[in-house]
Amino acid sequence: EVQLVESGGGVVQPGGSLRLSCAASGFTFDDYAMHWVRQAPGKGLEWVSLISGDGGWTYHADSVKGRFTISRDNSKNSLYLQMNSLRTEDTALYYCAKGRQWLVHCWGQGTLVTVSS
Amino acid sequence: EIVLTQSPGTLSLSPGERATLSCRASQSVGSNYLAWYQLKPGQAPRLLIFGASSRATGIPDRFSGSGSGTDFTLTISRLEPEDFAVYYCMQYGSTPLTFGPGTKVDIK
């Protein structure tokens, strides 16, 4: 069974940094691309970032480009999202998701990030 | 960037009724890489349909997807109580990947 468990969320001031983690199990991690997707309070879903199975290529939404970096450690079956220069509009529930090619296939339960002074 | 528009914003129906949800893209979706997700409060989103018309594993056959190019439809043939939720379409044919704003299906 695929399991994706996010951690690292919390409250941070504008301009601050946070690193999210996602522990994956139940599948051969390095065979699959991985995504981060977020949902701001009362809003819809927004795709954030994508990384290939070997970590060789990444894509980021324009809204986070230059501030967020997706990465992975295949030896630890873990996915990360380094978030710098955080803004209030980055407040959201952040989901880690397993990809199938670029399809967002299986989702974790999410970790909440609140950017507030 | 491909912009997705979903209609209606809210659909009020009774259990047993048919639900028809629309998703329109601002330009053609490559390879019809269009997916539908169900989202309920406090739960992880669930993939229903991918490739416009293929049901994901374990999804009941009352859910069906159709369409191509720029116009796509999710149909729920007979609403069950557990189907009342918010539904999102998403295109994954080109980056940035984009979601529609969602359609809420609520109980009439």
Distance CA A83, CA A17 (A): 5
Residues of A in contact with B45 (CB under 8 A): 37, 45, 95, 107
Reference A37, options A1, A4, A77; nearest CA is: A4
Q: What is the mean pLDDT of residues B5-19?
A: 97
Asked if the C-beta of A93 comes within 8 angstroms of chain B's C-beta atoms, the answer is no
pLDDT tens digits, one per residue of A18-64: 999 999 999 999 999 999 999 999 999 999 999 999 999 999 999 99
Searching chain B, which residue's CA lies closest to the CA of residue A5?
B44
Q: What is the mean pLDDT of residues B72-84?
A: 97
**pLDDT at residue A101, as a whole number:** 84
- Asked whether B2 and B24 are in contact (CB, 8 A), the reply is no
- Asked whether A102 and B92 are in contact (CB, 8 A), the reply is yes
**pLDDT at residue B1, as a whole number:** 95
- Asked whether A65 and A50 are in contact (CB, 8 A), the reply is no
Q: Which of A62, A108, A109 sits opposite B96 (nearest CB)?
A: A62
Q: Residue B91 pLDDT more than 90?
A: yes
Tell me the nearest-neighbour CA distance from B77 into chain A, angstroms.
23
Q: Residue B63 pLDDT more than 90?
A: yes
Tell me the nearest-neighbour CA distance from A46 into chain B, angstroms.
6
Distance CA A60, CA B80 (A): 37
Q: Which residue has the tokens 């997807």?
A: B65
pLDDT tens digits, one per residue of A54-110: 999 999 999 999 999 999 999 999 999 999 999 999 999 999 999 998 999 999 999
Residues, chain B:
108
Helix, strand, or coil (residue A103)? strand
Tell me the nearest-neighbour CA distance from A88 into chain B, angstroms.
21
